[in-house]
Structure 1
Amino acid sequence: MIRLATDVGGTFTDLVGYDERTGEVYTAKGLTTTDDQSRGVMDTIETAQTRDGLRPDEVTFLAHGGTTVINAITERTGVKTALVTTRGFRDVLEIGRGNRPDLYNLRTRSPEVFVPRELRFEIDERMDAAGTVLRAPDMDGIAPVVEACRAAGVEAIGVVFLHSYINPAHERQVADALAAAMPDVTVCASHEISRQWREFERSSTVALNAYVQPILRRYFGRLEAALQDRQIACPYYAMQSNGGISTFDQAMDSPLTLVESGPSGGVAGAVRIGDHLGEENVLYLDVGGTTAKCSLITEGRAVLNTTYRLEHTRTWPGYPLQLPVVDIVEIGAGGGSIASLDARGGLRVGPRSAGSDPGPASYGRGGTEPTVTDALLTIGLFDPAAFAGGSFPLDVELARAAIGRLAGPLGVGVEQAALAIIEIAHANMINALKLVTVQRGHDPRDAAFVVSGGAGPALATRLGRDLGVRAIVIPPHPGIFSAWGMLAAEPRVDFRKTWFADLSTDALSRLSDSAEEMRTEALTHFGRGTEAPVSCTFAVEARYAGQEHGVMAPWTPGEDIATFTDAFHTAHERAYTFRLPETGVEITGLHLEARLAGTTITMADMDPAGRGLDDSRTGQRDVWLGDADGWVPCPVHARARLPLNTALPGPMIVEEDTTTTLVLPGQTAEVERAGSLVIREAG
């Protein structure tokens, strides 16, 4: 009765297993195999089997998250894709929106589309905004599309027709005809992925879904075959970007739901940690080998991004996706982020990463450029012999040599240069953390700060101090926490659809009927009857009359108009800092979040036996804390043997197999009953 989760990151592949009968936990970490990620997954399973005694034939549940989808998009390695659309809308993908994120850059250009113009085809058909058929599809127009796609070697086709979100009949008809004519080609229709308005966003979503769908199907096919060869024959689940899980089959139908698969596992875990500690507001940060990702949890729930844009930056519009994605800000600042000098001699960190091959200079695998990991090793925070539980020793001299090549031009010593690298990475992370808090109208001082990742705990205490958070929490298994979080996630599906009406009692009554239809659809999705333990939470998108975009406000079917109106005003004020109580309100959409109750990982009390301050002390190491403090002696403790519920003063270093935590002077660290390391400012 073992529950297993694997997470494929840019540098490392992680595994966590949990035996429901005994409470035994299995862990493994290995380098990601970029040519075929399934090999890295199987390597971690083999490691857990040979080292910890994992029994594959007793695995009854497997959750998997990874970077297959996001990598295919960012590296432009998807399949050749065509798009079929309503006549006159062939260039919607290329026209996009007129707004420019970099307002004063007159040389800005639109993002390159994933479907070239010669593979975008038009069909005569028309539906009006109410779903009334104005012109039936010209089915004779399909034959030349099929001929052109065959000649071009197209592997996937997206179909997106005007107003199909309200009436998908034409899309179904044409998609079925294309699938019948080209059975070896993947065909997906926009209404199967999104039932929301805005033609550019819908077109972008279906094009990208088609672009990666064959890639994910092949990968899951290889992974399933490898798992079955290893005698792991159980239900397979994929970690979705909304914080829930779905079956492999469901994920292959909508692969874009996995676009932020790995990071969402960490958010699901942070929700579980916050619930255990009684913290409704949690600021979560994961610092891996390639990137740092942060998200905010409010009132015990992850915040969903309603306007997700892939590859979006402050100066680049990115690609919009009409799918629910946990609100995550991601920056190129991880343990493998490369430090370099720009044209003016200034120090930069990231976004380039050394990855797993060759990796940081200290890995001794051929890398020569200095990274954040090399800097942390140089200032004494990492033990070179104990890194990754001693299975992956680091070379201090290689790290110092790499950083020394920057220290010379900067006119500082190696330690000062190493600390400068860490400070810049720190500043980048602070900016990202403020994007999900201050710029969203939330105060980080009201939140607990949960930090994970191989490099996260080493930086956590300084970040938490600068943000003024309530507490800094290093959860169990922080270096493989995204995989752990997948065991805390439940099966989930989100449905969103456009629904227009002026706010009124009658409109809310009709909306309740639509909500019941969506609830029935959710039950069908889970394959359960109406008595199944499915929890449904609704939200309504609304706006003031005259506005272009709306905000999401919580809503319960059957509630009175005054209750919802107040909830809408509150949501609008939080998003835009003002409310207009005398202005009319328009409903623009309905959102359902449905969860199937299931077994998740428990947080049982730890056994206090064998834990004590003297038992945990493993030595002492000097850490460079800056010119003012110099090399500071820090006692080193093994986290697994620290006493429970005992506040220990910093400075100190807490080591475990997957990461190292630095507790600063003026802070205290305490292991709470379920094993989380809670750090607070003394006094």
Structure 2
Amino acid sequence: MKRVSVDIGGTFTDCFVAWDQRYIESKALTTHHNLALGFNEALQSACRELEISERELLSQVDSVRYATTLGTNALIQRKGPRLGLLTTAGFRASVPLSRAKGYGTGLDHKRQMDVPNAQRPEPLVPIPMILEVRERIDFDGQIVMPLDEEDLRLKLRQLVDKGAETLVVVLANSVVNPAHEQRIREIFLEEYPAHLLGAIPMLLSHQVAGRKGEYVRAMSTIMDGYLHQVMYHGLGTLELNLRNAGYEKPMQVNHNSGGMAQLNSTDALQTMHSGPVSGIAASEHLALQTSLGNIVATDMGGTSFDIGIVVEGGVKHYDFNPVIERWMVSVPMVHLVTLGAGGGSICSYDRMFSTVRVGPDSAGSDPGPACYDRGGLAPTVTDADLLLGYLDPGNYAGGHIQLNVRRARQAYEDLADALDMSEVEVAKLVRQTVDANMANGIATELRTRGYEPSAFTILAYGGNGPLHACGIARALGVSRILAPPFASVFSAVGGGNMSQLHIHEMNSWTVLFDANQQRFFEDYARFNASVEALEQRGRDDLLRQGFSDTDIRYRLELDMRYGNQRVQTAVVTDLHRIHSSQDVLRLIEQFHTRYGERFGKGSQAPEAGVRVNTIRVCAYVEHAGVAFGDILPAAVTLAPPDPVGKRTCHFVGYAQGLETAVYDDAALAVGTSIDGPAIVVTRATTYLVEPGWRLQAAAQNAVWFMRRDN
């Protein structure tokens, strides 16, 4: 297997190259103005290690896969086109009203409670750019009012005259009957052929989101339209960069659904958060190939701290109405919780509690932390780690970045004055705060889902994960934590392991058991036709990308509920068609079991009836991935090698600095055991072993951190 996978983060661009039996990891600062530059630098670093030219490498790999922050940056910076929205008459206020929750959606609990200062986000579609068209389709797909085509032509002219660069169409119940949305596109092309206006995109909501829910479907389509041009040009630039370097195959893009696809089969919205989701995908593969059981994936990079859950057997949690930035959308996305707790998170003075606040703002890669000496002035977590002695100023990020201790100390002067502490004492407080924030995030995510942290193996990866692993474990109250193989680029590893995958879904009113009439579902043909239609859409996606029909596999998921309960439970079933009452009973039993696992045995309520609200089909083609070895702690431990140096480090709970041994890559030989305090500095990352903890190296440079008494 020869493959390149890239995770373009807010601070670093991570690159992972699988070259037969060799695995190479490299990093470069993300170049936001042109992502190809950061990618080229990271790839060139890997090529030097392989002693091969960039052109020769790209001519031999089977694929190049990208996870990118382009969409995230475009939303934050509001770098999108002027949108025009066409909606059903009477629904013009749906998007501005935002379900009466727009002031708090996407904010943390503290800011949601601050109602007097609540502000809605700047709209992606200004109200004057929202126009109504006369038409109406009912819940069952019947046309109640035909489309007024003359009125439509007038509204199209008005939006174009107002400067619309992208048009979005969101009609009521179009997921049941898309005829009017399709007709609107036909009329638009009649009125404004491409040779008159150029390529003005028009997005239809039923093609973006397949479920009912007018607001979330509208926001999904609006966001997709807002990101369309940015993603098209940004990813197009990356693809041209590959072409110029000799890569001739289609570029692959990682999706937030946990799969990937070629660029021509990727919607802009599918790329949001694709980097962190790739890390969860890598955790899933690790769980399937090892005996780790339940896993919490935690990715601490330069900008954020991302948390995901993979329960035993490699089953991920999904969000079907995730919140992206400040808006709720309707696309299946691997469940992810993001905290503003990265290495570049900015630290400030909290006047109310006379302490420090960490994040959510970040210094990113430009200008970056103050110690990068690139113009950053605000104190960050990385500056604190440097002041505490954990980082080597001359050997950070493989020696590519020289850290300036004086700049870090200057950045902390104002905080030190405000708190009446020394800069080192403030840095310890920052360290304690950020570790506690991350631990609280993990505990909250697990316990709200009915899990205890002690039942999970916690993975600490990303550029800063191994540096904060002991602090997170201490604050969380767990006795061991794992830095997985290739920890600093683990999300890029996951991107390389993803399958080609497309998810299609539709609303369905399928009553498997009618409690009022005491009847079971009998319209098997309708249900089977819906599944077949979704399979066909996924099949078409994959056939278009050059795959054989025989390679395509399908996974059927049903969103089910008891009676009129608001809570839906996703059920994965191998029963792809219903042919008898026994099949119906089997589906109900699978739902019964899954509901009990989620909410507790005895909580089921079949007497209320059983309904299927959504039918979802995942069409995928599996690919060979990175094989993880046995990464459990070795039975026989080895003494550590001689340290390459010593330096004074400062730790939470210790008033004075402690002499700390420093090791290089040789300390990661399988079975090596090192008691803290100690630091292991590799080309890719830094492993910090705090006092009272022990590091034990496992296969593929995996590292366990364990309390000394274990």
Aligned to 1:289, which of 302, 306, 310?
302
Residue 135 of structure 1 aligns with an amino acid whose one-letter code is: M
Answer yes or no: is the 8 Å Cα contact 2:521–2:584 preserved in 1: no
Show the 5 A alignment for 1:209-608: 209-251=224-266, 254-299=267-312, 300-311=314-325, 318-344=326-352, 345-469=354-478, 471-504=480-513, 505-506=520-521, 509=524, 510-527=526-543, 532-557=550-575, 558=578, 560-572=583-595, 578-603=603-628
1:331 CA drift (Å): 1.4
1:651 CA drift (Å): 3.2
1:433 CA drift (Å): 1.4
Residue 340 of structure 2 aligns with an amino acid whose one-letter code is: G
Residue 682 of structure 2 aligns with an amino acid whose one-letter code is: E
1:356 CA drift (Å): 1.4
- Name the residue aligned to 1:160: 170
Question: 1-side partners of 2:381 and 2:438: how far apart?
Answer: 13
Question: 1-side partners of 2:441 and 2:523: how far apart?
Answer: 38
1:280 CA drift (Å): 3.3
Residue 34 of structure 1 aligns with an amino acid whose one-letter code is: H
- Name the residue aligned to 2:81: 79
Aligned length: 670
- Name the residue aligned to 2:11: 11
Question: 2-side partners of 1:679 and 1:567: how far apart?
Answer: 39
| Cα distance change of structure 1 residues 626 and 432 upon mapping to structure 2, 3 Å threshold | closer
Question: 1-side partners of 2:141 and 2:311: how far apart?
Answer: 38
Question: 1-side partners of 2:14 and 2:593: how far apart?
Answer: 41
Answer yes or no: is the 8 Å Cα contact 1:448–1:469 preserved in 2: no
Residue 525 of structure 1 aligns with an amino acid whose one-letter code is: D
1:164 CA drift (Å): 0.9
- Name the residue aligned to 1:35: 33
Q: Which stretch has the larger CA shift, 269-278 or 63-72?
A: 269-278
Q: Which runs of 5+ in 2 are unaligned?
A: 105-111, 514-519
Residue 421 of structure 2 aligns with an amino acid whose one-letter code is: V
- Name the residue aligned to 2:696: 670
Answer yes or no: is the 8 Å Cα contact 1:451–1:474 preserved in 2: yes
1:18 CA drift (Å): 1.2
- Name the residue aligned to 1:315: none
| Cα distance change of structure 1 residues 305 and 435 upon mapping to structure 2, 3 Å threshold | farther
Residue 281 of structure 2 aligns with an amino acid whose one-letter code is: A
Residue 550 of structure 1 aligns with an amino acid whose one-letter code is: Q
Answer yes or no: is the 8 Å Cα contact 1:669–1:678 preserved in 2: yes
RMSD, aligned α-carbons:
2.6
Deviations 1:626-654 (A, max 9, x none): 35363233322224553213444333222
1:468 CA drift (Å): 4.5
Answer yes or no: is the 8 Å Cα contact 2:153–2:187 preserved in 1: no
SS at match of 1:653: strand
1:569 CA drift (Å): 4.2
1:508 CA drift (Å): 8.3
Answer yes or no: is the 8 Å Cα contact 1:613–1:642 preserved in 2: no
| Cα distance change of structure 1 residues 272 and 556 upon mapping to structure 2, 3 Å threshold | closer
1:603 CA drift (Å): 3.1
Question: 1-side partners of 2:676 and 2:351: how far apart?
Answer: 40
SS at match of 1:487: helix
SS at match of 2:100: coil
1:538 CA drift (Å): 2.2
Residue 86 of structure 1 aligns with an amino acid whose one-letter code is: T
- Name the residue aligned to 1:314: none
Question: 1-side partners of 2:288 and 2:573: how far apart?
Answer: 23
| Cα distance change of structure 1 residues 622 and 372 upon mapping to structure 2, 3 Å threshold | same
| Cα distance change of structure 1 residues 26 and 79 upon mapping to structure 2, 3 Å threshold | same
Question: 2-side partners of 1:340 and 1:70: how far apart?
Answer: 24
- Name the residue aligned to 2:652: 626
Aligned to 2:643, which of 617, 636, 647?
617
SS at match of 2:492: helix
| Cα distance change of structure 1 residues 495 and 333 upon mapping to structure 2, 3 Å threshold | same
1:245 CA drift (Å): 0.8
| Cα distance change of structure 1 residues 653 and 275 upon mapping to structure 2, 3 Å threshold | farther
Residue 151 of structure 2 aligns with an amino acid whose one-letter code is: G
Answer yes or no: is the 8 Å Cα contact 1:446–1:469 preserved in 2: no
- Name the residue aligned to 2:144: 134
Question: 2-side partners of 1:570 and 1:401: how far apart?
Answer: 59
Aligned to 1:659, which of 678, 685, 691?
685
| Cα distance change of structure 1 residues 480 and 673 upon mapping to structure 2, 3 Å threshold | closer
Deviations 1:414-468 (A, max 9, x none): 2211010111111221232134211122222111111111111111122124334
Deviations 1:598-617 (A, max 9, x none): 122233689x9xx9755573
Answer yes or no: is the 8 Å Cα contact 2:348–2:415 preserved in 1: yes
SS at match of 1:166: coil
1:131 CA drift (Å): 1.2
Q: Which runs of 5+ in 1 are unaligned?
A: 312-317
| Cα distance change of structure 1 residues 112 and 390 upon mapping to structure 2, 3 Å threshold | closer
Answer yes or no: is the 8 Å Cα contact 1:361–1:368 preserved in 2: yes
SS at match of 1:626: coil
Structure 1 length as normaliser, TM-score?
0.92
1:262 CA drift (Å): 1.2
SS at match of 1:496: strand
SS at match of 2:557: strand
SS at match of 1:223: helix
Question: 2-side partners of 1:452 and 1:195: how far apart?
Answer: 35
Question: 2-side partners of 1:438 and 1:614: how far apart?
Answer: 38
Q: Which stretch has the larger CA shift, 25-34 or 6-15?
A: 25-34
| Cα distance change of structure 1 residues 49 and 675 upon mapping to structure 2, 3 Å threshold | closer
SS at match of 2:86: strand
1:507 CA drift (Å): 5.5
1:524 CA drift (Å): 2.2
Question: 1-side partners of 2:629 and 2:666: how far apart?
Answer: 15
Residue 46 of structure 1 aligns with an amino acid whose one-letter code is: Q
Residue 155 of structure 1 aligns with an amino acid whose one-letter code is: E
Answer yes or no: is the 8 Å Cα contact 1:612–1:642 preserved in 2: no
| Cα distance change of structure 1 residues 517 and 151 upon mapping to structure 2, 3 Å threshold | closer
| Cα distance change of structure 1 residues 427 and 189 upon mapping to structure 2, 3 Å threshold | same
**Percentage of matched positions with identical amino acids:** 27
Determine if the alignment matches structure 1 residue 113 to structure 2 residue 123. yes
Structure 2 length as normaliser, TM-score?
0.89
Residue 84 of structure 1 aligns with an amino acid whose one-letter code is: L
1:220 CA drift (Å): 1.8
Residue 303 of structure 1 aligns with an amino acid whose one-letter code is: H
Question: 2-side partners of 1:465 and 1:60: how far apart?
Answer: 43
Deviations 1:33-78 (A, max 9, x none): 1222222222323333345434332233100011111211222111
Residue 205 of structure 2 aligns with an amino acid whose one-letter code is: S
Answer yes or no: is the 8 Å Cα contact 2:638–2:671 preserved in 1: no
